Amino acid sequence: MTARSVLLSVLLGTDPPRLPVALLVSTTELFGINEGTTRTALSRMAAKGEVRADDGHYELASPRLLQRQHRQDRSRVGMTQPWQPGDPWVQAVVATSGARPAAARAGLRRSLLDARLAEWRDGVWIRPANLDGMTAVDDDSLVWGVVQLDTDPQHLAASLWALDEWSDVASHLVDDMEALVPGLESSDHDVLAPGFVVSAAVLRQLQADPLLPSALLAADWPGVALRDAYGRFDTAYRGVLRDWFDAHRV
């Protein structure tokens, strides 16, 4: 992992996203990254507007990164609304005249994916209407609506999202966390670096969860299992990490 990726991961996982420089330096040292490299990375991130220095601390400053943290936090909860087959779907149609710059098209696509919509047809994005306040994308090229779809919802969901792939990765991550539990229980500092990597992978996986209604998922869908396992893992991991910081007098 690079200094920047470690720094972003630890700030994104902290509420509020603000930490002392000394603590950030100690975190990157877990990955063999020296203090000079970390401070250089922080200076470059500040120059790009990603972080802001204040009284011996660095905090996230980029609206994009703050939005990412908000999505990450909500992904950990995985809150959904009741929905059954036959209930409506949210639809967003890209309705612009003329060509849009490639960067604008890519940005809009990323925003729609982040909002957990899937492209059903060219320029038409949909998902079940089971999320509260997570599907709005602020772009004047979009026409939003709620529609009834005359198609098998399970088949449609399986065609829009790689559900088997997500499930397989989630199950492996649960196993990865369980493999590190003995080290966490014994406060073994050697598990901090691999645990950090697993934690970051779990958070990425949770953000990729389409949060579909249970009626559209397999009975053994591991979404709840992954969130429960991560809640326990994160609590234990943070305890060992605090012990590491104390040992290094941060």
Asked if residue 170 and residue 152 are part of one domain, the reply reads no
The CATH number of residue 173's host domain is 1.20.58.1460
> Residue 34 falls within a domain, yes or no?
yes
> Residue 130 falls within a domain, yes or no?
yes
**Domain count across the chain:** 3
Asked if residue 240 and residue 192 are part of one domain, the reply reads yes
Query: What was the pLDDT predicted at 140?
Result: 79
**Helical (H) or strand (E) element with 57:** strand 57-60
The range of the structural domain enclosing residue 180 comes to: 163-247
Where is the domain boundary, 160, 177, 206?
A: 160
Give pTM, 2 decimals.
Answer: 0.88
Query: What was the pLDDT predicted at 46?
Result: 96
Asked if residue 102 and residue 43 are part of one domain, the reply reads no
> Residue 78 falls within a domain, yes or no?
no
Asked if residue 142 and residue 117 are part of one domain, the reply reads yes
Cβ atoms within 10 Å, residue 175: 9
Asked if residue 95 and residue 142 are part of one domain, the reply reads yes
Query: What was the pLDDT predicted at 134?
Result: 53
- Residue 113's SS3 state is helix
Asked if residue 167 and residue 243 are part of one domain, the reply reads yes
pLDDT digits (tens, 9 = 90+) for 94-141: 987 567 788 888 889 999 999 999 999 999 999 999 998 656 687 878
> Residue 43 falls within a domain, yes or no?
yes
Query: What was the pLDDT predicted at 95?
Result: 84
Where is the domain boundary, 116, 141, 160?
A: 160
Asked if residue 152 and residue 175 are part of one domain, the reply reads no
Separation in Å, CA 16 to CA 59, 192, 198, 239: 8, 22, 22, 18
φ and ψ of 32, to 5 deg = 75, 20
Asked if residue 28 and residue 97 are part of one domain, the reply reads no
> Residue 80 falls within a domain, yes or no?
no
Q: Which residues of the chain have pLDDT under 50?
A: 250
Where is the domain boundary, 160, 177, 203?
A: 160
Query: What was the pLDDT predicted at 1?
Result: 80
Query: What was the pLDDT predicted at 126?
Result: 96
Beta bridge partners of 19: 58
Separation in Å, CA 56 to CA 38, 121, 205: 14, 50, 33
The CATH number of residue 7's host domain is 1.10.10.10
> Residue 27 falls within a domain, yes or no?
yes
Asked if residue 240 and residue 193 are part of one domain, the reply reads yes
pLDDT digits (tens, 9 = 90+) for 166-179: 999 999 999 999 99
Asked if residue 170 and residue 237 are part of one domain, the reply reads yes
